Amino acid sequence: MSSFEFNKVFAAILVAGLTAMLTGFIADVLVHPKDLKEDAVSIDGGAVDTGGPKVEKKAEPILHLIASADIARGEKLSKACAACHSFDNGGPNKVGPNLWNVYGVPKAHLGNFEYSSALANFGGQWTALDLNQFFWKPKKYVPGTKMNYNGIKDPEDRAAMIAWLRSLSSSPKPLPSAAAIAEEVALLAPPEEDAAENAIDAAADKAEHGGGH
């Protein structure tokens, strides 16, 4: 390569570089990029105001699954709780209270365990409905609880856990009634899902009965 040719190549690279810099500069002047104050999409998928109705995330309804849930699976899952809880009749309190006969009894059920005031004052019984919500996200359902546990995500796992806890009693309390199952769906199933389901039902109805005779 002659030195003249080399200079040409060098000049070409230089011009290309300058052009790129200059375009960047002009683009900046023209467009005025602004940093967003907040993320456009929030990481936890939570409260971005999209203008539509806000749907708060809730535990999936599971009461209908408890009667046929796999109790042995619940027992296996309880390994995740065993560092803090014993489950046998008369077992010791550890970091958390003994959990024999906890299904269907008042919350903070033991007199010899020091509960957080959050749980002690929460009120109500450990119905399957309340256990479902507690196990889904303990700290969301009982803000201020001292149970340091993230929760059980899988709906079938929660059903199995509750079915197992129910069995830990000398006389297990009744399974959720049909009314309780319906109540749970009304409370926890997102309304937009209901609406979609109703729309589908209505369409199916129309298709079935709408055809002329």
Q: Which positions touch ligand HEC (CB under 6 A)?
A: 80-81, 83-85, 95-97, 99, 102, 107-110, 115-116, 118-119, 145-149, 152, 161
Whichever of 23 and 150 has its CB closer to ligand HEC, that residue is 150
Residue 112 is encoded by which pair of tokens?
Answer: 């010899």
Query: Which residues, other chains included, contact 189 with Cβ-Cβ below 8 Å and sequence gap of 6+?
Result: 61
Query: Residue 96 or residue 190: which is nearer to ligand HEC going by CB?
Result: 96
Task: For ligand HEC, give the closer residue by CB, 164 or 181.
Answer: 164
Give the Cα separation of 103 and 173 in Å (integer). 7
Smaller CB distance to ligand HEC: residue 110 or 189?
A: 110
Shortest distance (Å) from residue 27 CB to ligand HEC: 54
Residue with smaller CB distance to ligand HEC, 23 or 148: 148
Identify residue 126 by its one-letter amino acid code: W
Q: Is residue 51 classed exposed, middle or buried when 0-12, 13-18 and 19+ CB atoms within 10 A define those classes?
A: exposed
Dist CA 73 CA 70 (whole Å): 5
Cβ 116 to ligand HEC, closest distance in Å? 3
Nearer to ligand HEC, 58 or 146 (CB): 146
The C-alpha atoms of residue 131 and residue 88 are separated, in whole angstroms, by: 19
Query: How many whole angstroms separate alpha carbon 177 and alpha carbon 200?
Result: 27
Cα separation, 96 vs 82, in Å, equals 9
The sign of the torsion formed by the CA atoms of 63, 129, 202, 51 equals: negative
Give CA–CA dist 65/63, Å, rounded. 5
Count of positions (residues) in the chain: 213
